[in-house]
Amino acid sequence: MDRFRLRVPAAVRAIALQLLHRAALRRLRALATPTHPGLERILAAVELALQGRADPDERAWIARIERRRRELLASDEPLAPVDYGAGQTSAADRHPQVAGEAEWTVGGRCRSSKSPFWALLLFRLVRELRPERCLELGTNCGISAAYQAAALRLNGAGSLRTVEGNPALVALSRRSLASLGLAATVEEGRFADVLPRLLEEEGPFDHVFVDGHHDGAGTVGYFEQLLPRLGPAAVVVFDDIAWSTGMAQAWQTLRAHPRVRVAVDLGAMGVCVVDGGAGPAIRVTLPLRG
């Protein structure tokens, strides 16, 4: 017998999401006054993302990127299925609901891009923290890279390097960024092969978004590689921290790391501030939905 699936209308989902975000805002404002500047800026970014506030220039960029997202979602252009991330993991790191795609398409790959809310949160983090050198591990179709690159453009400074292992997705993300008129360098190759060179050439990095190779041990390993090449009070964002048992365990290891001064658990994402202050480490849990 086919499994029954409840289909919730989009309007109902939107209302439910709005209520969840209002509850998250109340929790955020109930937190004690931040005692670390990095935490203060992170919470400011979260609040702005929850409120959906944006000035006219920000709204224009967001609208352009979302138009590009819709174009990609509507595309049935085939892609070669090369996956160095979720498709090559241990049992503990494999998401229980992920089924392999026999054939990849642009639209199918784009559906795994960050949702508008989480992409907006990345945008807000870059706007608030104003990093000079940014790195992304896991480009996919280039949607999250576009949000971060747009934030850097509005900041008036900063650069972004992003790494993707699938050659077809590298070409696609380069086209997306070029069509938007955004500057970012898309590096092709496995993280293990590309990251050492990038850290030598481009560091220190102030902002890193880790969104690929959903493997717990691998994620912790990348963080250890990043540590010597991070700037003062650098922010490292980890995606899919609840993806699997392995990723959840990795997040617990990362948030307890002695060099992590601030760790903010947002449910789907974890945000860490590395070094950048004395005093006790700060751990905040503020689960969001988006």
- Percent above pLDDT 90 for the chain: 64
Residue 51 clears pLDDT 70, i.e. is over it: yes
Mean pLDDT score, 11-16? 45
Mean pLDDT score, 20-39? 64
pLDDT at 6: 37
pLDDT at 60: 98
| Amino acid letter for position 158 | G
Residue 33 clears pLDDT 60, i.e. is over it: no
Is pTM beyond 0.85? Reply is: yes
Peptide bond between residue 280 and the one before it cis (omega within 30 degrees of 0): no
Residue 268 clears pLDDT 60, i.e. is over it: yes
pLDDT at 16: 46
Closest CA to 128 of 278, 233, 20: 233
Q: How confident is the model at residue 92 (pLDDT cuts 50, 70, 90)?
A: low
Residue 56 clears pLDDT 70, i.e. is over it: yes
Lowest-confidence segment of 172-176, 211-215, 250-254 by average pLDDT: 211-215
Mean pLDDT (the chain) is: 85
Q: How confident is the model at residue 50 (pLDDT cuts 50, 70, 90)?
A: confident
All structural domains of the chain, each given as residue ranges with its CATH number in brackets, are 10-285 (3.40.50.150)
Residue 239 contacts residue 210 (beta carbons within 8 Å): yes
Residue 24 clears pLDDT 90, i.e. is over it: no
Distance from C-alpha of 114 to C-alpha of 1, rounded to nearest angstrom: 33
Residue 2 clears pLDDT 80, i.e. is over it: no
Mean pLDDT score, 166-177? 96
Residue 15 clears pLDDT 50, i.e. is over it: no
Interval 207-242: pLDDT, tens: 999 998 889 999 999 999 999 999 999 999 999 999
Per DSSP, 277 falls in state -
Strand locations in the chain (E) = 78-79, 104-105, 133-137, 159-164, 185-188, 205-210, 230-239, 260-265, 269-274, 282-285
Q: Which residues contact 248 (CB under 8 A, 6 or more apart)?
A: 216, 241, 242
